[in-house]
Every structure is written in structure tokens, then in C-alpha cells.
């Protein structure tokens, strides 16, 4: 079972860790990256929002949006990895800014970046964070410096946002609806008048009445400036999708063993299937999965306070483990060919490379 | 003074993703309703995560009675927008025209702050709603966005007021702002776990919310693990669980294979480390915030349904925090 996961870490070029928030995705991503580097693959892990101490231990606490090699001191008394391990923390806003600077002329870029509506859209447009994660992934790939890129996705409430991001953002930016809405503010209006129907007129009047005309004018200016870049945007989004769709990529869905979390994981597995994206498998993190112990009753019956408490605790874990297995089976059993890896919740407070290695051992077994 | 989760008319329940804020919001609402308050429970993220907690397939619009004294609703921005337009302009036609031109696309994409303000606007409407002379609800519980998005969500009125320089939306924004910054009318209840990251986020959120002039109520620490061992045993397990268990076995005269010892030791050590960390983290939390804390025990069930919500509601009631 864990061999499949080991193989992914050994031969894929991109691993996307995704899933609902609060399940330990960032930690899993970092643990996989440490393992890959330990095995001799030059690896970068791009995370979204690591715990402060984990970020500090990887040297990420003070850097922004650029990759940095994890310092030798991060390994403490432990061994140095066989290949270099790099890490970075994604800054969504800065990635968007860089993209604009990259795509537009200096003068236009300056005007876009100072538009009040851009300020808004660059941080709040649905899907922007997901899109920027992909954009950064593509950049890292293009740089060609790493054998393995592990990327942690934003904790979006619906994993769908991530896959949908390129289409959503381009659909939105090119949307007929937008053009219709904003036509009085746009210079290029040819042809659009015909589709300007009654509903849109009424809506437009209402929108202006509610928001005041300044907002719509800011929006219109922004889109006017942005118009020439739609094509480039779309092309980039398509290239990212293509890259994600190859067998050099694997998606790993991370979930916790709770029903709600597993439901989201199921949805994601199905969605990846529909989009023909390569699913690596599902990691169920922080489970109580432990092997049965035959002598448990005898140990409990000793009456020794430590042994009785330890045996009862173990028994609780077994009970919880069975319930979790049922929940996992209910959510995922009917999805053919989906590997599921359970990680027992034996390592906590993961805030240094040593703990990441212990977690990797729990996931993949010790390095032979 | 007793910590109270119901000292304001609106309880805005938030927390880091995955800490169980929706469950706590439901338990809080149910506990208050059980004490005779008329309660409205609202979700705004469109996740349909409240319904299963009450054993129903989905929550409709408008609100739905889910228990005695307790109504719940999943607030959807475009319905809130149409309702809002109807309320302020009395025009049904615009509502229809809006539906025709994909109002949601406008509300959620062009001006995301507008979406948030419609959602909080709905909360304010419910808080102010009157039946004859009296308020329709004694308490509105909001299952709010997670703490990562909460400041932006609550700041939407201010942001919109900056962006929109005139008109009724601006008036509406100021009305909502008044509610959010009045401690008698609203307070944030933060849910956290006894773990490093959620606690760190809680401490940061409290500072941010205070800067915004938003009142913060008690902090609910969810999924607190029971402590199976005494502190002395806990220490011995943390330093060498295998040795501690082997010694106890020898003393008690039971034998077990090495693998058994290994398994037992791994779980006992994990539990011992967890309870020690838990105490440390909770002490740290207590020192970093001057807010009362309410502990809620961990459940063994992976599924949360009506039974679990009832249990948690009784825990909250027993803590004396619902009054």
C-alpha cells in the first residue's frame, strides 16, 4: 500500500496536496518533501500557510514569495538530506502583482496595480488564490531547477475551486455579462449593443443606484486596461491545466477521518476523475488506526494503574479506528482504484525537520 | 463573573478551519433554545453543513424550524440581494431582472465586499426584526466564515463604505458597522483546539478583532482530550514509554511479545505527549488572552449528528455559559 505512495514520491515531477482545511495538508506536504530530498531528489515544497514554528524551522518565517533552500542548521543533529530541499511560502497578492508586471507594459502595469478595483479583485475574486497557486506551480516548473515540486493548495472550502480556477477566472474576465454591464464605460462597444437586453438595462440602473457610479467606473477602467491580457491569461491557464493532466503529476487528497471531511475528499476524487486529472490517492491523516493486540484483556486485568489505563486507551483507539474505517469505506470504497493511506495520529506538534521525518516514517515506513 | 456565550444579541461563531465551529454554533443555538430563548441560527458559506446536524437533508430559504424555539437558515447572497432590493425599493421587477442577469455573478465576483455585506446585512435584519413591539429573536447565532476570512468579512461594511461613496448601500454599510461594533448587539465566539496552530490563530484573531472594535466573547476549546494517566505516569511515558510499560508488566507478572509492547507504548506515549501539550497550550492561551475559556470534550464518533449536538449543547449549558 504505502509502496504506491513511495513510488509517487520517487518518480513524479509534481505532487499536488489538496483537500479540506484543517487536516494537516501543509505538514503532510512538508513531510513528503523531506522524504524525497532524503532519497536524493532535488525538491521544493510550496506551502500556503504553515504553522509559525514549522515555518521557522524551514527558514520560511521571514521570506516572502521566493524559493529558499532549507538551511543546514534546520536538520539539527539529524542527517543532512541527500539532495537539496527548498521551500517557499505562497504570497497570493504578490504572485498576482508579479504576473501583471510580467504580462503588461511597465506603464500599464503601474496603472493596473494602482487601480482601486484591482486591489479588491486580486485578493477576493473567487478562485484567485487557487489560480495563483497554479500560476506559481507553473513558474517553478518552468524554472526547471527541481526534480520534484510539492505544492500545498489553499484550504478552499470546496476543492473544486482549485480545478476550476483557470476556467472560472478566464470565463469571468471574458464574460459577456461583464461587458454588457459595463458597456457605457467601455470604449469598445461595437456589437455588444444588441445583447443589451431589457433585463440588463434594469439591472444596470439598479446597480448604479445601489453602488454609485464610481465603483462601476473603477471596474470598467480596470477591465479596459486588462482586455489585452485576457488571451495571455487564458493561454497560461490552459498550459497549467495541461501540465497538471500528465502522468508526471499526482494529486494527493488529504482528509481527516471525520465523515464531513471524507465527504469532501470523495467529491474531490470524483471531480479529479471527471477532469481526467491523475489521482495518486487519499491520505487519511490523524487516524486512530492501530493493529489489534491479543493480550489486551490480560494486560487490563492486571489492575496495575498504568497498564489498565494504557489498555483502556488502546481499546478506545481500536473502537475509534473501526468507526473511522467504516466512515472511510462509506465515503471511498465504491470509487475504483483509489488508494487510501491512513496515518495514525502518533506524532504531534510537528515543528521541526526531525518530526517531519517521523511523520514520513509513519506514512511511508522507514528509509531502507 | 461567569463566562457568557449569550451576552450579546448576535453570537458570531468562528475559528480556524477544521476546529468544529459549525458544530459548536449549532450546540450553542440549541442550548440557548432549550433555555427558552427564541434563537435563529444562520450559515453564510453555502456549505449546507448545518442541516445534517439537525438530521435534515438541507436548509431552505427562508428560515426553517429545526427544534423548539430554534430556526435555522442557509443565507444565499442572491436571495439576500433580491430580498434587500425588495425591502428597500419595493420593486419586484428588479428582483426578477436580477435573477435574469445572473445577479450572483455580479454580487460575488465584481464586488466581493458587496456579497459579504449582503450576508451580514441579513444578520442585522434578523437581529433588528420585530414582531409587534418585541424582537423576533432573542439570539442570532451566526456560523461565520473561518478566522482567516473573518476580518475581511466583518470589515466589508467599512470597505464597501470606502468603495461606494454614495447611495443606500453606503447607508446599509454604516448600519451594519453599528451592529458589529456594539458589544451589546454582537460578539465573536472563537472556537479553537488545544493545539499549537489553532491557538496561535485564536490569539492573533482576538488582537485583530479588537483593533476593529469588535467584541470578543469567551473562547471555546473544542476536542479537549481526557487525561488517562497521572502526571507522574505521563512523565515516565514521555521519557521512555517502552521501558515504563515493560517494567509495569514485569511487576504485574504478565508477559507479551515485543510487538505488543511496541504498539501499546506508541499509543500511550502519543496520548501522554498530547495531554502534556494540551495543558501547555491551554496555559499559554489563558495567559495570552484575557478571555474566559470553556472546554468541550473530544468525541469518539467520526460523524456528528443530532445526538452529538445535543450532548455538546448540554456541555455548554452545564458550563453555565448560556444564560
Of the two residues B167 and B137, the one the predictor is more confident about is: B137
Query: Is residue A44 within 8 Å of A81, Cβ to Cβ?
Result: no
Whether this prediction's pTM lies above 0.90 is answered by no
Residue A310: name the closest of B69, B18, B64, B242 by CA. B242
B309 vs A263, higher pLDDT: B309
Residues 92-151 of B with CB under 8 A from A: 93-94, 97-98, 100-103, 105-106, 108-114, 146, 148
CA distance B146 to chain A (A): 10
What percentage of chain B has pLDDT greater than the value 90? 62
The span from the CA of A137 to the CA of A18, in Å, is: 14
Please tell me the predicted confidence (pLDDT) of residue A188.
Answer: 43
B115: closest CA of chain A, how far (Å): 11
Residue contact B260–A215, C-beta within 8 A: no
d(CA B48, CA B50): 6
pLDDT for A287-322, tens place per residue? 998 889 999 999 999 999 999 999 999 999 999 999
Q: What Rg value do the Cα atoms of chain B yield, rounded?
A: 23
Q: What mean pLDDT do residues B34-58 have?
A: 90
Whole-number pLDDT of residue A187:
47
* ipTM summary value: 0.81
| pLDDT exceeds 50 at position A196 | no
Q: CA-to-CA distance for A230 and B115, rounded, in angstroms?
A: 25
The answer to whether the CB of A177 falls within 8 A of the CB of A223 is: no
For residues B280 and A189, the model is more confident at B280
Q: Is A267 on the interface with B (CB under 8 A)?
A: no
Which has more pLDDT, A248 or A201? A248
Question: Ramachandran region of residue B320, left (φ > 0), alpha (ψ -120 to 50) or beta?
Answer: left
Percent of chain A predicted with pLDDT > 70: 78
Residue B15 cell numbers, joined: 475559528
CB–CB of A203/A209 below 8 Å?
Answer: no
- Look up residue A205 and give its three cell numbers: 440602473
For an interface test with A, which of B302, B305, B308 has the most A Cβ atoms less than 10 Å from its Cβ? B302
Mean pLDDT, residues B75-102: 59
What's B253's DSSP letter?
T
For A144-164, write each residue's pLDDT tens digit: 999 999 998 876 655 456 566
Q: B249, A198: Cβ pair inside 8 Å? A: no
Query: What pLDDT shows up at residue B290?
Result: 87
Task: Say whether pLDDT at B90 is over 90.
Answer: no
Q: Do A120 and B197 touch (CB under 8 A)?
A: no
Percent of chain A with pLDDT over 90: 39
> Taking CB atoms and an 8 Å limit, are A257 and B16 in contact across chains?
no
Q: What is the pLDDT of residues B198-238, one digit of tens each?
A: 898 999 999 999 999 999 999 999 999 999 999 999 999 99
Q: Concatenated DSSP letters for A185-247? A: G-S--TTGGGG--HHHHHHHHHHHHHH-HHHHHHHHHHHHHHGGGHHHHHHHHHHHHHHHHST
> A115-119, A242-246, B66-70 — which is least confidently predicted?
A115-119
Q: What is the mean pLDDT of chain A?
A: 82
H helices of chain A, in order, are: 2-11, 25-38, 52-57, 92-103, 106-113, 116-124, 128-143, 160-174, 176-182, 198-211, 213-226, 230-245, 259-274, 296-301, 305-332, 353-364
Predicted confidence (pLDDT) per residue in B276-319, tens digit: 999 999 999 999 998 899 999 998 788 899 999 999 999 999 99
Q: With an 8 Å Cβ cutoff, is B56 touching chain A?
A: no
Contacting residues of B for A199, CB less than 8 Å apart: 97, 100-101
Structural domains of chain B sorted by starting position, each given as residue range(s) with its CATH number in brackets:
10-226+282-318 (3.40.50.300)
* Distance spanning both ends of chain A, measured CA to CA: 16
- Using an 8 Å CB-CB cutoff, list chain B residues near A348: 195, 270, 273-274, 277
pLDDT top residue among B105 and B218: B218
Q: Which residues of B touch A26 (CB under 8 A)?
A: none
Task: Give yes or no for residue B54 having a pLDDT over 50.
Answer: yes
Amino acid at each position: 500500500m504505502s509502496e504506491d505512495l513511495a513510488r509517487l514520491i520517487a518518480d513524479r515531477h509534481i505532487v499536488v496536496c489538496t483537500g479540506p482545511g484543517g487536516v494537516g495538508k501543509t505538514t503532510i506536504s512538508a513531510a513528503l518533501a523531506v522524504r524525497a530530498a532524503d532519497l536524493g531528489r532535488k525538491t521544493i515544497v510550496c506551502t500556503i500557510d504553515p504553522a509559525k514554528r514549522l515555518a521557522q524551522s524551514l527558514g520560511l518565517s521571514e521570506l516572502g514569495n521566493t524559493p529558499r533552500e532549507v538551511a543546514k542548521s534546520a536538520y539539527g543533529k539529524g542527517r543532512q538530506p541527500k539532495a537539496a530541499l527548498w521551500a517557499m511560502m505562497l504570497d497570493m497578492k504578490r504572485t498576482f502583482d508579479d504576473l501583471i508586471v510580467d504580462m503588461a507594459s511597465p506603464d500599464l502595469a503601474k496603472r493596473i496595480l494602482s487601480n482601486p478595483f484591482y486591489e479588491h479583485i486580486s485578493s477576493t475574486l473567487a478562485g484567485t488564490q487557487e489560480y495563483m497557486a497554479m500560476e506559481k506551480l507553473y513558474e517553478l516548473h518552468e524554472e526547471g531547477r527541481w526534480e520534484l515540486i510539492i505544492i500545498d493548495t489553499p484550504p478552499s472550502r470546496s476543492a473544486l475551486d482549485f480545478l476550476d480556477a483557470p476556467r472560472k477566472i478566464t470565463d469571468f474576465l471574458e464574460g459577456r455579462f461583464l461587458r454588457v454591464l459595463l458597456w457605457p464605460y467601455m470604449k469598445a462597444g461595437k456589437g455588444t449593443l444588441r445583447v443589451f437586453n431589457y433585463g440588463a438595462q434594469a439591472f444596470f440602473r439598479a446597480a448604479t443606484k445601489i453602488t454609485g457610479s464610481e465603483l462601476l467606473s473603477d471596474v470598467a477602467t480596470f477591465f479596459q486596461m486588462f482586455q489585452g491580457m485576457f488571451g495571455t491569461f487564458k493561454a497560461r491557464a490552459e498550459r497549467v491545466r495541461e501540465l497538471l493532466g500528465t502522468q508526471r503529476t499526482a494529486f494527493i487528497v488529504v482528509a481527516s477521518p471525520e465523515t464531513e471531511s471524507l465527504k469532501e475528499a470523495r467529491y474531490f476524487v470524483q471531480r479529479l476523475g471527471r477532469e481526467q486529472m491523475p489521482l495518486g490517492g487519499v491520505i487519511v491523516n490523524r487516524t486512530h488506526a492501530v493493529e489489534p493486540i491479543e493480550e489486551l484483556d490480560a494486560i487490563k486485568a492486571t489492575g496495575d494503574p498504568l497498564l489498565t489505563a494504557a489498555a483502556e486507551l488502546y481499546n478506545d483507539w481500536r473502537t475509534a479506528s473501526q468507526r473511522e474505517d467504516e466512515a472511510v469505506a462509506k465515503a471511498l470504497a465504491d470509487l475504483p482504484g483509489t488508494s487510501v493511506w491512513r496515518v495514525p495520529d502518533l506524532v504531534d506538534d510537528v515543528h521541526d525537520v526531525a518530526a517531519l521525518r517521523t511523520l514520513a516514517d509513519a506514512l511511508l515506513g522507514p528509509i531502507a | 463573573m461567569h463566562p457568557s456565550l449569550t451576552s450579546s444579541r448576535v453570537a458570531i461563531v468562528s475559528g480556524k478551519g477544521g476546529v468544529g465551529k459549525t458544530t459548536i454554533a449549532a450546540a450553542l443555538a440549541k442550548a440557548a433554545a432549550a433555555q427558552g430563548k427564541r434563537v435563529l441560527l444562520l450559515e453564510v458559506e453555502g456549505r449546507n453543513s448545518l442541516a445534517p446536524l439537525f438530521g435534515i437533508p438541507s436548509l431552505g430559504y427562508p428560515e426553517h424550524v429545526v427544534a423548539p424555539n430554534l430556526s435555522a437558515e442557509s443565507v444565499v447572497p442572491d436571495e439576500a440581494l433580491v430580498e434587500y432590493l425588495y425591502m428597500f425599493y419595493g420593486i419586484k421587477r428588479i428582483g426578477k431582472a436580477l435573477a435574469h442577469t445572473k445577479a450572483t455573478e455580479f454580487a460575488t465576483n465584481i464586488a466581493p465586499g458587496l456579497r459579504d455585506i449582503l450576508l451580514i446585512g441579513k444578520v442585522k435584519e434578523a437581529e433588528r426584526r420585530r414582531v409587534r413591539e418585541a424582537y423576533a429573536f432573542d439570539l442570532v447565532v451566526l456560523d461565520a466564515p473561518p478566522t482567516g476570512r473573518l476580518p475581511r468579512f466583518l470589515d466589508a461594511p467599512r470597505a464597501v463604505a470606502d468603495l461606494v461613496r454614495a447611495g443606500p448601500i453606503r447607508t446599509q454599510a454604516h448600519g451594519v458597522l453599528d451592529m458589529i461594533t456594539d458589544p451589546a448587539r454582537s460578539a465573536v465566539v472563537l472556537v479553537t483546539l488545544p493545539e499549537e496552530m489553532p491557538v496561535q490563530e485564536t490569539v492573533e484573531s482576538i488582537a485583530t478583532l479588537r483593533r476593529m472594535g469588535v467584541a470578543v466573547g469567551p473562547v471555546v476549546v473544542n476536542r479537549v482530550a481526557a487525561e488517562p494517566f497521572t502526571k507522574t505516569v505521563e512523565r515516565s511515558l514521555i521519557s521512555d514509554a517502552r521501558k515504563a510499560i515493560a517494567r509495569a508488566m514485569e511487576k504485574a507478572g504478565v508477559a507479551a511479545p515485543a510487538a505488543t509492547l511496541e504498539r501499546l507504548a506508541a499509543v500511550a506515549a502519543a496520548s501522554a505527549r498530547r495531554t502534556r501539550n494540551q495543558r501547555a497550550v491551554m496555559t499559554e492561551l489563558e495567559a495570552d488572552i484575557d478571555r474566559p475559556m470553556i472546554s468541550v470534550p473530544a468525541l469518539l464518533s467520526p460523524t456528528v449528528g443530532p445526538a452529538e449536538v445535543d450532548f455538546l449543547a448540554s456541555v455548554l449549558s452545564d458550563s453555565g455559559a448560556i444564560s
